[in-house]
Amino acid sequence: MMLFALIMAGVVEGIGLTALLPLLQKAIDLPKGSSTENLSSSGADSFITSALSYVGISATVGSLLTVIMIGAILRSLLILIANRKVGYTVAHVATDLRLALLRALLSTRWGYFLGQQVGSMANAAGTEVMRASSAYLHAATALAMAIQAFAYFVVAMLVSWKITLLFMSVATLVLVLLYKMVSKAKRAGRKQTKLLQSLLARLSDSLQSLKAFKAMGRENLADELLSTNTMKLNKALRKQVLSKAVLRGIQEPLLTLLVIVGLYLMLVYLKMDLPKVMVLIFLMARMLNETGKVQRKYQDVAICESAYWSLQEKINKAQQHNEPQGGDKKATLEHGITIDHVYFGYGEQMILRNASLEIPGKTFTSIVGPSGAGKTTLVDLITGLFHPEKGTVRIDGTPLPELDLRSWRRMIGYVPQDTILLHDSIFINVTLGEELLTGEDVEYALKSAGAWDFVSEMAEGMQTTVGERGAKLSGGQRQRIAIARALIHRPHLLILDEATSALDPDTEAAICQTLKELRGQLTILAISHQAALVDVADRVFQISSGEIKLVTDHSKIKEASIDMDHLR
């Protein structure tokens, strides 16, 4: 639609411009009182005079002015339609690119996602998407200008093809000589893309650690690092601005000089008719002006296009690491989970060796072991975030790869060790924005997590904003909100990864009592050093040296837990 409107606008403008030559010829050559006489047509003006005669209209001053006016109005309407379509399409381009990136990232394997910088991905979804859509806008605008320039070119060729080709040959030479400024701007754009990635990635990391920096009086280190990157970015932007200014500053005088020289040659040396010279100069000036704009818009495209290619590279890499969705069998959890002779490692470091255990359905299982023994890795294997190198993970006897992975994960409530809350209300943090969940569901989850008492005492209740990463809440309160988030879907499997580590003894006891009451309703898997979770567990497994062993004497686990608390 955009391209069709632009082409039609060029055609309409061309038709309108063909009326200029007979109009000027008539105004200069014909005496007063003869404005209603037909104009003899020859050359370029024959088209318009013949067309008017075909519909029974005389080629008078009035009819010619009418043709020019109608052409101007139709061109404006068609350009309006084209620009509207360009605007809509730019918005669609930005939306499609952003969604493509987000969906590619959310569909990747967990291992690939761990290697990405959050700030870099945020920059891609924000800055790079906008710069990429701007490149499309500049390209579409350049196309519109090129079509208009072509319309002037066609009409000029009808007036005098020799003069027109000579003009365009010299103009093309000028534009080629100025292409160096486009190349400089392109290099500056690439530098800008790389520096923005680095700067925003570091900025994101620094802001997440700002509390620690300020507490130690070392925020100046973050300032120095960010300032260095910012100054490099400023340098790239200055080169970009300079190249654009130089291109415009040199291009316009040269093209103007070309028009002046052409006017002189046609009048003095070629001794062409004044009406024809006037029309040609008008057409050449407009054609060169639009052609110069095309080059400047192309320079804008060159500046922004690196963001598009950077974005495409991220999308393509993410798609190459797309996570398989498993089989088509529907997951159930009635009998239990089996880890059967599993081997798994990161690179050359083997974490689990011939690990086996069984977690019966609707029981409470705790897994203990030193840091780095593989407790969280075991959970990642159960949730399908990682896959064993050898051995099998079975859910109700079905190998995990044969299950619909998403349906299995929808049955899981997961509470990580590092509790991260959204800068939003408690309600949103528990529901994660799912519209089907109600206030009653949130209240149930908060009560189950032992969080209802402190939430109900807040002035705004569950609509209270928790602050950035939950900073307005205590560590224990944040963790209880995270537990409520895991329970709100009434999962079949509840996984707690050191979920009570930040809780005081009384709150931990309350949580354990809640978990104890849930036993028999769902399967609970807890990773912890805390003795309280060992006490309420039906089974306790210990991971050591990559192997898993069932612990029958819980007192040893308690003693180890007390020793670790003392060391902490």
Tens of pLDDT, residues 79-138: 788 778 777 888 888 899 999 998 888 888 888 887 777 778 888 888 889 889 989 888
Reading the block at residue 402, the tokens are 């044969």
Whether residue 560 is predicted with pLDDT greater than 50 in this model: the reply is no
- Give the pLDDT of residue 49: 66
In angstroms, rounded to a whole number, what is the distance separating the alpha carbons of residues 388 and 491? 24
- Give the pLDDT of residue 374: 81
413 and 562 in a single domain? The answer is yes
Question: How large is the average pLDDT for residues 161-177?
Answer: 89
**Confidence band, pLDDT 50/70/90 cuts, at residue 211:** low
Among candidate residues 535, 537, 539, the one with its CA nearest the CA of residue 561: 535
**Confidence band, pLDDT 50/70/90 cuts, at residue 1:** confident
- Give the pLDDT of residue 52: 63
439-448 and 475-487 helices, crossing angle to 10° = 120
- Give the pLDDT of residue 209: 67
111 CB-near residues (< 8 Å, 6+ apart)? 321, 385, 386
Question: How large is the average pLDDT for residues 165-184?
Answer: 89
- Give the pLDDT of residue 41: 41
Reading the block at residue 161, the tokens are 């093809």
On whether the CB atoms of residues 387 and 401 are closer than 8 A, the answer is: yes
Domain-embedded: residue 493 = yes
pLDDT tens for 447-506 read: 887 788 888 888 888 888 888 777 788 777 888 888 888 888 888 999 888 776 666 777
Backbone phi, psi, residue 418, to 5°:
-90, 105
Reading the block at residue 355, the tokens are 């690990």
Domain-embedded: residue 161 = yes
Domain finish residue from 318, 349, 373: 318
Tell me which of 502 and 214 has the higher pLDDT: 214
Q: What's the burial of 224, exposed, middle or buried (CB within 10 Å: 0-12/13-18/19+)?
A: exposed
Domain-embedded: residue 23 = no
As beta bridge partners, residue 344 has 352
242 and 391 in a single domain? The answer is no
In angstroms, rounded to a whole number, what is the distance separating the alpha carbons of residues 97 and 136? 12
Say how many residues make up the chain.
Answer: 568
Reading the block at residue 255, the tokens are 């093209």
**Confidence band, pLDDT 50/70/90 cuts, at residue 200:** confident
Reading the block at residue 340, the tokens are 């059967």
Q: Which of 224-228, 232-236, 259-263, 519-523 has the highest mean pLDDT?
A: 259-263
In angstroms, rounded to a whole number, what is the distance separating the alpha carbons of residues 523 and 495? 9
- Give the pLDDT of residue 503: 66
Tell me which of 19 and 349 has the higher pLDDT: 349
User: Strand 523-527 and strand 539-544: pairing?
Assistant: unpaired
What DSSP character marks residue 268? I
**Residue 155's domain is classified under what CATH number?**
1.20.1560.10
**Confidence band, pLDDT 50/70/90 cuts, at residue 552:** low
- Give the pLDDT of residue 173: 92
Domain-embedded: residue 50 = no
- Give the pLDDT of residue 295: 92
Question: How large is the average pLDDT for residues 314-338?
Answer: 87
Domain-embedded: residue 101 = yes
Sign of the dihedral through C-alpha 412, 417, 422, 428: positive
Backbone phi, psi, residue 403, to 5°:
-90, 155
On whether the CB atoms of residues 342 and 355 are closer than 8 A, the answer is: yes
426 and 513 in a single domain? The answer is yes
Tell me which of 556 and 299 has the higher pLDDT: 299
Domain finish residue from 284, 318, 352: 318
138 and 248 in a single domain? The answer is yes
- Give the pLDDT of residue 221: 67
State how far Cα 192 lies from the chain centre: 17
- Number of separate domains in the chain: 2
Whether residue 75 is predicted with pLDDT greater than 80 in this model: the reply is no
Tell me how far apart the terminal alpha carbons of the chain are, to the nearest angstrom: 68
Domain finish residue from 257, 292, 318: 318
pTM listed for this prediction: 0.72
Q: Which residue segment(s) compose the domain that 491 sits in? A: 336-567
Long-range Cβ pairs for the range 141-144 (8 Å, 24+): 141/86, 141/297, 142/293, 142/294, 142/297, 142/298, 142/301, 143/3, 143/6, 144/6, 144/79, 144/82, 144/83, 144/86
On whether the CB atoms of residues 182 and 189 are closer than 8 A, the answer is: no
Question: How large is the average pLDDT for residues 146-173?
Answer: 85
Mean pLDDT, the chain, integer: 80
311 and 349 in a single domain? The answer is no
538 CB-near residues (< 8 Å, 6+ apart)? 360, 363, 364, 365, 519
> Which of the residue ranges 83-87, 304-308, 507-511 would you say has the lowest mean pLDDT?
507-511
Question: How large is the average pLDDT for residues 21-40?
Answer: 48
> Which of the residue ranges 224-233, 241-250, 378-387, 446-455 would you say has the lowest mean pLDDT?
224-233
Whether residue 431 is predicted with pLDDT greater than 60 in this model: the reply is yes
- Give the pLDDT of residue 372: 76
pLDDT tens for 380-414 read: 899 888 888 898 999 988 999 888 888 888 888 88
- Give the pLDDT of residue 561: 45
Domain-embedded: residue 461 = yes
Reading the block at residue 371, the tokens are 């840091």
On whether the CB atoms of residues 292 and 252 are closer than 8 A, the answer is: yes
509 CB-near residues (< 8 Å, 6+ apart)? 532
Whether residue 23 is predicted with pLDDT greater than 50 in this model: the reply is yes
Whether residue 42 is predicted with pLDDT greater than 50 in this model: the reply is no
- Give the pLDDT of residue 36: 36
Q: How many percent of the chain have pLDDT more than 70?
A: 84
421 and 561 in a single domain? The answer is yes
292 and 342 in a single domain? The answer is no
- Give the pLDDT of residue 300: 92
Within 10 A of 17 (CB to CB), how many other CB atoms are there? 25
- Give the pLDDT of residue 38: 39
Reading the block at residue 435, the tokens are 């519209």
Question: How large is the average pLDDT for residues 323-328?
Answer: 81
Within 10 A of 513 (CB to CB), how many other CB atoms are there? 13
Domain-embedded: residue 553 = yes
Tell me which of 138 and 274 has the higher pLDDT: 138
**Residue 553's domain is classified under what CATH number?**
3.40.50.300
Question: How large is the average pLDDT for residues 552-562?
Answer: 52
308 and 358 in a single domain? The answer is no
497 and 395 in a single domain? The answer is yes
Q: Which helix (H) or strand (E) holds 494?
A: strand 493-497
347 and 263 in a single domain? The answer is no
In angstroms, rounded to a whole number, what is the distance separating the alpha carbons of residues 288 and 268? 22
- Give the pLDDT of residue 394: 92
Backbone phi, psi, residue 433, to 5°:
80, 5
343 and 312 in a single domain? The answer is no
378 and 461 in a single domain? The answer is yes
State how far Cα 318 lies from the chain centre: 13
Domain-embedded: residue 459 = yes
Tell me which of 53 and 82 has the higher pLDDT: 82
Amino acid identity for residue 122 in this structure: A
Dihedral angle computed from the Cα positions of residues 429, 432, 438 and 440, in that order, rounded to the nearest 10 degrees: -40
